[in-house]
Structure 1
């Protein structure tokens, strides 16, 4: 399987964190694990037999919006496939699609219309595009259309709060963010939850987990306590508890998978 990690064009970087491309020309079964990362997204797939999300057993449409992934999931694919994921900064869900972000946590939203064009026409254009670059351009243009029509509904203060948390790898205190934004903590949390589907505290916890997961996957440590203290956990038991909550297994077990 080939995996590409593409930095989004500057024109969409305000609301797109990353673009992931998964491709495989083999006819075998592929299982792609996904864990909490703080980012909802748009997913397009071109496959022989579709994709199924486990443990929900849900067969997914060709193009859909998914919310915060909090519990671990696997995408099951049979046969050759091409999957494109636009990871979105979570402050766009309510503004762009008019949905309550909390309602699609660990779930998805089926797209029916774009801001200017019928979504089926857009899907058809993506399917018939001959290159990955062209498919990405079509999806990027769709998001730019949403931005053009809905940018006045975006809460840019929440976007700033998201960036503070990302830059600190989830270790920053929410009180410190509230002070930077000249808000009380309760107001910040209310606005953050309204726009993203999770509280600022929960988002920080997810970002902190992702930082530790990356360190574990890249084996950038000598002993487990290196990860614990590099990522701001109180102690090893705290880290193990959080890690297991997001992955279903302990760090030690995960490292052996």
Structure 2
């Protein structure tokens, strides 16, 4: 069971959603998590609930589990976690790092004061309150990178990178460097993920059109290119998803 919870409005600039995932299986299960351009902080409640940063993913992540599993997560908006840590986000890309091993606004009370024995709603409320208490200590976000992210999303991943850099008032080299540090991946990689997720959403909507037409409408050269991107980012063919 997977459930999402909205953050406090004061945190909506940084946090996309809180989420919980619970499952129990008597046989080994394999799941794939698809890239979304975001970084998360995750508590594994079926183990010792120490928080880990799961960095921005450049491809799918496959997880295998058996028995009971329970996760609580904070999914930050692209670049949102930058306000909570001084460490360049690209140091976490495609990896998991213990939160307290990095320089951030979090202290050991994050986790120790959370009522793990209570309901998920109570746990999420406690996490939300903790993040609200950190607001005075947050680092300043680079609004130029936030603006660039919004341009990429508006263009559904098809806006040329030099044009985005120009509109964000950054040289191409500055833009690449700042984007990588704040988002965790390059502007090109982020654009590919945005394009993939937009195409995936249209596939799930059940729109009655050919794969070639969908590919062209979403900015791919042809359906062969679309299939290649889907296999690279999700490990599956479009029809399998």
Equivalent residue, structure 1, for 2:165:
178
Match of 2:51 among 44, 59, 63: 63
User: Is 1:228 the counterpart of 2:215 in the alignment?
Assistant: yes
> SS at 1:138's partner residue?
helix
Superposition map of 1:181-192 within 5 A = 181-192=168-179
Distance 1:115 1:251 in 2: 41
Alpha-carbon RMSD: 2.6
1:20: Cα distance to partner?
2.6
TM-score, normalised by the number of residues in structure 2 = 0.85
- Where 1:79 maps in the other structure, the secondary structure is strand
Is the 1:169–1:204 contact (alpha carbons within 8 Å) kept by the matching residues of 2? yes
Write the distance in 2 (CA, Å) between the matches of 1:169 and 1:12. Answer: 25
Is 1:243 the counterpart of 2:233 in the alignment? no
Q: What is residue 158 of structure 1 aligned with on the other side?
A: 145
2:85 and 2:33 mapped to 1: Cα distance? 23
Structure 2 distance, partners of 1:231, 1:242, is 12
2:27 and 2:205 map into 1 onto residues whose CA distance is 27
- The structural deviation recorded for 1:98 is 2.3
Equivalent-residue separation in structure 1 for 2:6 and 2:207 (angstroms) = 23
TM (norm. structure 1) is 0.80
1:103-162 per-residue CA deviation (whole Å, 9 max, x = no partner) reads: 2211022022763641xx43233353512222112222333344421233x212211211
Aligned length: 239
Following superposition, which runs of at least 4 residues in structure 1 exceed 6 angstroms of deviation? Answer: none
Kindly report which structure 2 residues correspond to 1:1-257, keeping only aligned pairs within 5 A, or say none: 2-24=1-23, 29-47=28-46, 50=47, 62-112=50-100, 115=105, 117-118=107-108, 121-152=109-140, 154-252=141-239, 254-255=240-241
Q: Distance in 2 between matches of 1:37 and 1:175?
A: 22
Report deviation, 1:225.
2.4
What are the superposed Cα offsets for residues 149-203 of structure 1, whole Å, 9 maximum, x if unpaired? 1233x21221121122223321222233233323333322221112222111211
- For 1:110 and 1:77, the matched residues in 2 are separated by 20
On the 8 A contact 1:12/1:144 being kept in 2, the answer is yes
